[in-house]
Every structure is written in structure tokens, then in C-alpha cells.
Structure 1
């Protein structure tokens, strides 16, 4: 069994966006290794399966889902509501501090794209339906999810001569809901695919004119 050393670990938001790792926390770890690194979670969620251990652990803003079979490797993990993280550093878990790297995650998606080193790897899942608008940014195994408040949907413009006007409006008014790290390319998790219109980062920036706030 891995030994608990209670060492304080550090992670970088910029590195997480680019690689999907949070310092020592990566998708190759097992449940026992996570426990040794971070200590016990603040909470966990059980499901209806017959698994003898809880497979969803919650550490402050870090949430980790494990696979159902021993040795219970990490399946994916996420930072929940990253726009609420404190700067310049935030304690994701008692033993894991996240450096925000001077990144303001409250900016629009068009401005968030500046923090990716190679935009050619990025796919934007732009919302097709103004009634259910969600935008997702995919960078290999990393996925950023953006939503809007229900009351803001009513303010979305409907301009038949400029079909991209409401997407620019979305870019200015949305908020980041979560950032995921998956084992497989995040684009493969897109659901339902009919809800999104996929495009390159360059195309999205051309539509929004990098116009964020």
C-alpha cells in the first residue's frame, strides 16, 4: 500500500489546460495512490452499483471519478466552478495548491483560447440551439464547459441576416462551469453531437472577432 507522506503538492492551471494533469494528479493514478497523495476526500458519492468502495471523491473544487474495477484507476477528474477559484493560488485539496498562473478564467471563451499554445489542436463545440446553449472547448483530453444563466437566454438576439450574432452574444455572456480531464480525447465524450456545431479555434475567433469583455 502506498505510504501517506502528507507533503504539500503544487499544480499549475496553465499546465492543466494544456496537458490535463494537476501536478502529481494524473489519469494513471489508482484510488490508493490518490489517497496517499491527497489524503481522504471531503466527501464522496456512492451509486447503485455493487462496487465495495465509493467511486466519486470530492476534494473542495477537485472531483475525481474512478473506474469500477480494481485497482480503481482514475477514470476522469474535473475542477468544478473554476470561476470561483481564488487568485493567485487556490487550495483544491488539503494537500494540493493550484497556481492560477495569472489566468482569469472568468473571461469569455474567445479570450480563454489565448492560454493554449497550439490552437490547431483545439476544437470548439459551439451551441446550435439558443434554447439550450452550451459551448465546449476540446484540447485532446481536456474539456472546458461554458453555460449561460436561464434569464440571460431571453436576451439573446435573433438576426436572420447575421446567424453568428447570437454566438457572439453567447461568448460575451457565458460563464465557465467546469474543466475536465479525460483518458480519451474529450471530443469523443460530446453528447448529444447534434447539439453542437464543431469548428476550429480560428473559425470561432473569426466569428466572435475575439470580442470578449
Structure 2
């Protein structure tokens, strides 16, 4: 018997940092039963005969561990194929109500959106990559932004200014930051960063 249709709230899953019908650690075959077939997948037929990267419509991506029973390790809500309208349809049975403007929100839009206790939110910034990045980490959720800047020295100088606290840095970077995705992860979300080094020491936003 197919599962009953379920519509979740985007605001709710961001607040709770979890998706009720997709608990992290769920085996691949159980995910398939919950979600139905993906729109597509990517696999290396030689190294990984089981597809471990699934893509659903509405901008949802799933990653699985390479060992049987292939538990779910990551759920990404991507800016690629971002949902439009009031409801995002991932599959025939699973939908999401767009009751928070995630895809259009700035960094400060998330922080001031009433989603989290800001004492539990950490901000990281990295300039040692092709495009400077900023992320928000809370619980097992990581929200990633890329900065569209022509001169990286401007960013680096802002980070080095002793008179600039984190709130001022976020205000400076807000207009040049572009949402890239929200990642629901197993373990510490900061371990998902690429590169894993060269990030500013995480700071609590509300402590500034």
C-alpha cells in the first residue's frame, strides 16, 4: 500500500532541523518506499553500483552511505530547481509548504526570521576558495551562501578589522551573499565544509 500524502512546512523543518518523514539514517529502500522513485540519480557503476545521490523535483537532493543498508546521510534543499509558488512537490506523496522565503532570504533574513535561538547559531566565513563563502550552522543544519565579490581583499580586510564585530560583518556581506542550499546532516554540520580548513572561528551571532 502506498504511503499517505504528506505536506510539511518549510519553516517547521528549518526550526526543528529535521524532516519527519526522512529521518537521517533511514535505509535506502525505506526512503524509496516513503518518497517514491527519484527524478534522477548519479552513480559510478564500477565503484558504486547502487546509486547514492538521488535528485527529486522541487530542489531536494538525497545522499546515502556506500555500505549496505545505505543509510541516508544528507538531505539538501537546493537553490537549483528552487521551489516556486506556495507548495513544492518532491514526489507524488511528499510536498512542502513554502511558508518561509528561504530561496530569496539573505543571511540576516534567516537570522531575524524567528527560526532559532540565536545563542545556538554559529556563523563561519571562508575566503580561501574560488568564491568566498559564509554559512549558518545550528543543530545538524548547515545553510550555505557564496559571496559574489570582484575583490576578495575587501572581504579579507573586513574580517581583519578589529572594530568590526560579527554583526557588522554580516551586514557588510548581506548584499553580496547568495543562498546555495540548506543541508540536513548527520553529525556536526561544520564537518561538511569544503574546504574543511581556513574558516573563521565560529561565533555565536547573538554574542556580538
TM-score (norm 1): 0.79
Partner of 1:147: 146
CA–CA separation in structure 2 for the residues paired with 1:57 and 1:36 = 14
Partner of 2:175: 172
Decide whether aligned partners of structure 1 residues 58 and 84 sit closer, same or farther in structure 2, where only a CA change above 3 A counts: closer
CA–CA separation in structure 2 for the residues paired with 1:130 and 1:32 = 37
Partner of 1:196: 200
Partner of 1:209: none
Bigger mean CA deviation after superposition, 136-145 or 19-28 = 19-28
TM-score (norm 2): 0.81
CA–CA separation in structure 2 for the residues paired with 1:175 and 1:158 = 17
SS at match of 2:104: coil
Partner of 1:19: 16
CA–CA separation in structure 2 for the residues paired with 1:65 and 1:197 = 28
SS at match of 1:135: strand
| 2:186 pairs with one of 180, 183, 186 | 183
Give aligned pairs, total: 198
Bigger mean CA deviation after superposition, 18-27 or 176-185 = 18-27
Partner of 2:7: 10
Does 1:100 find its partner at 2:104? Answer: no
SS at match of 2:48: coil
What's the RMSD between the two structures over aligned residues? 2.8
Superposition misfits of 4+ residues, deviation over 4 angstroms: 128-131, 159-162, 164-167
Checking the alignment, whether the CA contact within 8 Å between 1:18 and 1:139 is kept in structure 2 is no
Decide whether aligned partners of structure 1 residues 166 and 118 sit closer, same or farther in structure 2, where only a CA change above 3 A counts: closer
Decide whether aligned partners of structure 1 residues 46 and 172 sit closer, same or farther in structure 2, where only a CA change above 3 A counts: same
Deviation of 1:104 after TM superposition, in Å, equals 4.7
Bigger mean CA deviation after superposition, 44-53 or 67-76 = 44-53
Q: Deviations over 1:176-210 (max 9, x none)?
A: 1000011102023333321334211125xx5xxxx
Partner of 2:88: 90
Partner of 1:133: 132
Checking the alignment, whether the CA contact within 8 Å between 1:13 and 1:22 is kept in structure 2 is no
Checking the alignment, whether the CA contact within 8 Å between 1:106 and 1:176 is kept in structure 2 is yes
SS at match of 2:137: strand
CA–CA separation in structure 2 for the residues paired with 1:112 and 1:127 = 19
Structure 1: where are the runs of 5+ without partners? 207-213
Decide whether aligned partners of structure 1 residues 86 and 146 sit closer, same or farther in structure 2, where only a CA change above 3 A counts: same
